[in-house]
């Protein structure tokens, strides 16, 4: 047995004492530890904590760091976290793109925009629409589709179809039932339906999220590999400030934001055809996101859109979102950024160490990774011999479903 194996064994023994806080199991029994790599006293623990919520996952990472740090001969510890890959969600993975439509508050026209966006995109793409709005699933009535839902040969729920577009909604499952769902139950119902629906389209999936930024929204967005979210707002000052906070919250939670759709931006008079702006011009000043489209208040949007055939008022919406999707897959970072995507664990750490140690106090450090790099903070702390709180700012954002960017400054 080599010296490295011995250290690895000692780390493993110590980690056995770390428990899954939600079930009385060791982190090994819970399947959290995928690999332990030891390289000259530097320990890298590869983990899969995707079954845990954010806070519990962080708690387990901290407990592992402390346990491994206590082992004699360990000089540094790094915990790497895998995230659910698109491949884990076979049916959703078939889509080239997944776009979610969200809003800070209810009633701003989110479902109208989601349905019209799906129909607009359907002119040039093979599109499906998923209505995840558990508490008010109104896509079926908007598109005039109804159940019952049939099963595929494999027993999975088959969406209903309109004009070649698959539509699935929690509202199609059981009359009235979704309205009574709350919290975890609502999330599980959406998650199950999302994971099992047998889609027949495969270019773009549009997801109509519940309004707000509650648990169902954040968990769905973290579990489903969305390319980005379009946030629908009205141009009222108050609505825009709420929307600005929602955009920030999505970014803080690693959800890429494609931009905003400003709904009911103007009213075009039915009699004279004259457009009238409905809200103050400077209302959008607070928004730190591109405006993808401004949609007028018009009766034509109170009808039923058809795949490939939408009212002129939203004619540009599909093209604007398609364009945003093209750049959503790329990460823009400074040339000096350290890119560890696709690198083996030991090399990743070495690259980070080298680049970080070459910096002076006050220098900016940018890291691009194909995993959530939040735990790298502890490693940087050890390199700089400074507590994690000394790193200000310390920002992690998910730039695309597969790329994370960490930005900080060496203390
Ligand atoms: N641009 C528009 N022009 C005219 N009417 C609109 C427009 N946008 C939305 N509406 C109308 O406003 C109402 C609310 O729209 P919608 O259901 O899309 O909102 P929502 O944000 O999805 O609401 P919820 O929070 O209930 O999910 C609907 O009656 C819809 O027809």
Query: In 8-92, where do the E strands start and end?
Result: 19-20, 25-26, 33-39, 42-48, 76-82
Atom index in ligand 1 nearest the CA of residue 302 equals: 31
Q: How would CATH label the architecture of 1-82?
A: 2-Layer Sandwich (3.30)
Q: How many CB atoms lie within 10 A of CB 103?
A: 31
- Residue 302 in contact with ligand 1 by CB distance below 6 A: yes
Would you give the DSSP letter of residue 149? P
Q: How many CB atoms lie within 10 A of CB 124?
A: 13
Identify which of 338, 293, 337 has the alpha carbon closest to the alpha carbon of residue 101: 293
Record: fold of 331-411: Translation Initiation Factor IF3 (3.30.110)
- Residue 279 in contact with ligand 1 by CB distance below 6 A: no
- Residue 117 in contact with ligand 1 by CB distance below 6 A: no
DSSP 209-267: PPSSS-HHHHHHHHHTT-SEEEEEE-S-HHHHHHHHHHHHHHHHTT--EEEEEEEEEEE
Tokens of 307: 């795949």
pLDDT band at 179 (very low <50, low <70, confident <90, very high): very low
Q: pLDDT of 103-144, one tens digit each?
A: 999 999 999 999 999 999 999 999 999 998 877 888 999 999
Q: How would CATH label the architecture of 87-328?
A: 3-Layer(aba) Sandwich (3.40)
Q: pLDDT of 309-353, one tens digit each?
A: 999 999 899 999 999 988 776 777 788 999 999 888 788 999 999
- Residue 267 in contact with ligand 1 by CB distance below 6 A: no
List residues forming the annotated binding site for ATP: 104-111
Q: Is the pTM of the predicted complex or chain greater than 0.90? A: no
For residues 269 and 236, the answer to whether their CB atoms sit within 8 Å is: no
List residues forming the annotated binding site: 104-111
Report the separation in Å between the CA atom of 127 and the middle of ligand 1, taken as the mean of its atom positions.
21
- DSSP β-bridge partners for residue 209: none
- Residue 251 in contact with ligand 1 by CB distance below 6 A: no
Enumerate the domain spans of the chain: 1-82, 87-328, 331-411
Mean pLDDT in residue range 163-192: 70
Residue 342 region by backbone torsions, left for phi larger than 0, else alpha for psi between -120 and 50, else beta: left
Residue nearest to atom 25 of ligand 1 (CA): 106
Mutate-to-test residue for ligand 1 from 107, 138, 296, highest number of ligand atoms within 8 A of CB: 107
- Residue 294 in contact with ligand 1 by CB distance below 6 A: no
Q: How many CB atoms lie within 10 A of CB 23?
A: 9
């Amino acid at each position: 047995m080599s010296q490295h194996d011995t250290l690895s064994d000692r780390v493993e023994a110590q980690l056995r004492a770390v428990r899954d806080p939600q079930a009385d199991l060791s982190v090994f029994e819970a399947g959290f530890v995928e690999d332990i790599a030891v390289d000259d006293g530097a320990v890298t623990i590869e983990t899969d904590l995707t079954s845990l919520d954010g806070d519990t996952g962080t708690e387990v990472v901290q407990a592992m760091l402390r346990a491994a740090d206590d082992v004699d001969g360990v000089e540094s510890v790094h915990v790497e976290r895998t995230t659910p890959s698109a491949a884990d969600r076979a049916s959703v993975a078939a889509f080239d793109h997944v776009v979610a439509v969200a809003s800070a508050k209810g009633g701003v026209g989110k479902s109208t925009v989601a349905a019209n966006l799906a129909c607009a995109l359907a002119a040039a793409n093979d599109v499906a629409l998923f209505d995840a709005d558990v508490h008010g699933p109104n896509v079926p009535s908007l598109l005039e589709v109804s159940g019952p839902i049939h099963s595929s040969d494999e027993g999975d729920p088959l969406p209903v179809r309109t004009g070649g577009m698959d539509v699935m909604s929690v509202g199609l499952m059981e009359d009235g039932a979704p309205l009574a769902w709350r919290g975890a139950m609502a999330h599980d119902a959406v998650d199950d339906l999302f994971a099992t629906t047998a889609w027949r389209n495969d270019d773009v999936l549009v997801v109509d999220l519940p309004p707000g930024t509650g648990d169902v929204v954040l968990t769905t967005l973290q579990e489903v590999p969305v390319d980005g979210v379009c946030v629908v707002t009205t141009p009222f000052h108050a609505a825009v400030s709420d929307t600005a906070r929602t955009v920030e919250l999505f970014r803080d939670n690693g959800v890429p934001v494609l931009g905003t759709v400003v709904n009911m931006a103007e009213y075009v008079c039915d009699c004279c055809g004259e457009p009238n702006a409905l809200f103050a011009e400077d209302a959008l000043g607070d928004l730190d996101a591109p405006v993808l489209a401004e949609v007028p208040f018009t009766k034509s949007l109170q009808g039923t859109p058809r795949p490939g055939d939408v009212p002129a008022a939203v004619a540009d919406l599909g093209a604007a979102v398609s364009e945003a999707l093209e750049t959503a897959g790329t990460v823009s970072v400074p040339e000096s950024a350290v890119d560890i995507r696709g690198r083996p664990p030991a090399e990743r750490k070495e690259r980070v160490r080298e680049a970080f140690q070459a910096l002076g106090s006050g220098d900016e450090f940018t890291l691009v990774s194909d995993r959530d790099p939040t735990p790298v903070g502890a490693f940087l702390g050890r390199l700089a011999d400074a507590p994690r709180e000394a790193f200000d700012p310390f920002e992690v954002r998910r730039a695309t479903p597969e790329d994370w960017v960490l930005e900080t400054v060496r203390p």
